[in-house]
Amino acid sequence: MLTPEQQAEIDAERAEPRQTLRAVSPGMERHLYTAHPVLDHGFVRVIDYMGDDNAITQAARVSYGKGTKAVSNDEGLIRYLMRHWHSTPFEMCEVKFHVKLPVFVARQWIRHRTANVNEYSARYSILDREFYIPEPDALNAQSTVNNQGRGATLQGEEAARVLEILKADSTRSYDHYEEMLSQDGKDGLARELARMNLPANVYTQWYWKVDLHNLFHFLRLRADSHAQYEIRVYAEEMCRLVKDWVPFAYAAFEDYRMGGANLSGKGVECVRRMLKGEEVTQETSGMSKGEWREFMEVVG
């Protein structure tokens, strides 16, 4: 997972604590530099961070002035900010992660264009012989109702056949990658060209720096049960880190974003009609069948 050089760097950093006058989060200090395993060869670790729960309330009080005097404590203010979608105070906190992940997960991840990213360069360096091979219980058939989702878990001979294909293709492609790079002591193919033969399950690494507001947006989508498993496990590990970093903000996020729901104007009106005892159906709701199905998932 970690190379000996990376582990030595981590050990050296953790062995030399530094005094600082800036605000620190005791919960996040415990996680600094530590690699938290994800998937078979991946990890997430915190390289640096700025701010804590207090940084959020401090920024809000500067921006809102007297308007916040009615809020009696920091936790209440943070919940108010989250409840009313005030995003800028949460942007006062930032965190920098070092992530090791399969390339196909990275391509999905990079669609969140609100972070600063620096990725391992396969033009400059040689990629390691490390590929994501799913556990048997993560091998699923294509969903018949969701074009971008999974269906039932593959069983028996079919699961074994797929795993063998994945392992064999990964090994063969990396063997050819090495062959193209070096040919009997002669200069081989340029690294920037040889890499194109590698499959999307090869591992890459990057530094990913993001503010808390945009991190919450990422986590809301990628830690959701509907997200692809391979990116969801990274988001879930990051949730645990963020919970220790900004406990008040994370609790509000978990309540209002992860555990809450948004209703359209038609949805609110239907709820009001239901509370008055009226029987409301899809035909009388003014919603499409898809909207009605999603609405009923929320209200039961």
Catalytically active residues are 222
Region at 91 (left for phi over 0; alpha for psi -120 to 50; beta for the rest) = alpha
Q: Reduced to 3 states, what is the DSSP secondary structure of residue 199?
A: coil
What residues contact residue 218 under an 8 Å CB cut-off, 6+ apart? 112, 114, 115, 210, 235
Separation in Å, CA 107 to CA 102, 113, 201, 206, 273: 9, 11, 11, 12, 45
Q: Which two tokens stand for residue 202?
A: 């090869």
User: What CA–CA distance (Å, rounded) separates 248 from 93?
Assistant: 13
Of 224, 215, 274, the closest CA to residue 245 belongs to: 215
12 CB neighbour count, 10 Å cutoff: 10
Q: Where are the alpha helices (DSSP H) in the chain?
A: 4-14, 26-29, 53-64, 74-83, 103-109, 156-181, 191-194, 212-222, 229-245, 247-253, 265-275, 282-285, 289-299
Which residue is associated with the tokens 């992940």?
A: 101
Of 71, 52, 92, the closest CA to residue 249 belongs to: 52
Which residue is associated with the tokens 């947006």?
A: 217
Q: Which two tokens stand for residue 106?
A: 């990275």
User: What CA–CA distance (Å, rounded) separates 20 from 154?
Assistant: 53
Contact (Cβ atoms closer than 8 angstroms) between residue 210 and residue 90: no
